[in-house]
Amino acid sequence: MAAESIAAGDPTGWFERLYAAAEAGETAVPWDRGEPSRFFTQWAVTRARAGAGQRAVVVGCGLGDDAEFVAGFGFETVAFDISPTAIATARRRFPGSAVRYQTADLLDPPPEWHQAYDLVVESLILQALPDPPRRDAIARLGGLVAPGGTLIVIARAREPEQAVHGPPWALTRAEIDALGGGGLEPVTIEDLTDSQMPWPRRWRAEFRRPLPGSART
């Protein structure tokens, strides 16, 4: 599906095709584990903070597990995906959820989302995009982070010389560093290894946008 969409000049069109096929029982969503990403939950528990009075957005939320976890911290949470079927499925899975699920495109986000969120969560979405348009997605992602806010990114990791035939397309350190464009500062960039996983290396990167007038670290 991805190869066909890319060949047709629509590198994100395969997401809806995949979720629609999964909804019809024709395939499975390969990244759906039925629970939040443990690389994210480990970070969140360690860096736990009350979200009351703050806003969060979950990028490419899929079927909603990460979004529900974020909302559990008290954040006013928006979760979006480019696939309408994914959003419909998430709403059905979590009836009565406090999360506001909606269809949207990271490459063309609503203008009112610019620097609007205290917490921006991206888990395994950038790696699902070829380049282009991945570099544009990297630039758009940072634009969601409010002053004083945090961006957390989780992705497969690779060395620049390491060939990959995706999806997914593992990210290089240079691509992770590029998330610091647009005024974000790196807090921690972890290169994690789990030998039990088919692709053992993961980036877990945290960035923040300084408050106006604050000294850069």
At 99, which CATH number? 3.40.50.150
| Separation of alpha carbons 110 and 116, rounded Å | 11
Is there a domain that residue 13 lies in?
no
Per-residue model confidence as pLDDT tens digits over 75-124: 999 999 999 999 999 999 999 999 999 999 999 999 999 999 999 999 99
Q: Integer distance in angstroms from the first to the last C-alpha of the chain?
A: 44
Residue 150, in any domain of the structure: yes
Q: Tell me: pLDDT of 217 over 80.
A: no
Within a domain: residue 113?
yes
Is residue 92 assigned to a domain?
yes
DSSP 3-state assignment of 33? coil
Q: Is residue 129 part of a domain?
A: yes
54-82 pLDDT, tens digit per residue, is 999 999 999 999 999 999 999 999 999 99
Instruction: Give the percent of the chain with pLDDT over 90.
Output: 88
Q: Is 183 within the bounds of a domain?
A: yes
Bridge partners (DSSP) listed for residue 120: 57, 151
CA 97 to chain centroid, in Å, comes to 20
Q: Pairing state of beta strands 201-208 and 145-156?
A: antiparallel
Q: What's the structural domain count of the chain?
A: 1
Expressed as residue numbers, the domain containing 84 is 33-208
Is the pLDDT confidence value at 11 over 90? yes
Instruction: Report residue 48's pLDDT band, with 50, 70 and 90 as the boundaries.
Output: low
pLDDT at res. 213: 80
Residue 201 predicted with pLDDT over 70: yes
- The answer to whether the CB of 81 falls within 8 A of the CB of 103 is yes
- The answer to the question of residue 9 being in a domain is no
Ranking 41-50, 60-69, 138-147, 208-217 by mean pLDDT, the lowest is 208-217
The string of DSSP codes covering 102-159 is EE--TTS--GGGTT-EEEEEEESSGGGS-TTTHHHHHHHHHTTEEEEEEEEEEEEB--
Pairing of strands 100-103, 145-156: unpaired
**Does residue 6 sit within a domain?**
no
Residue 15 DSSP SS3 = helix
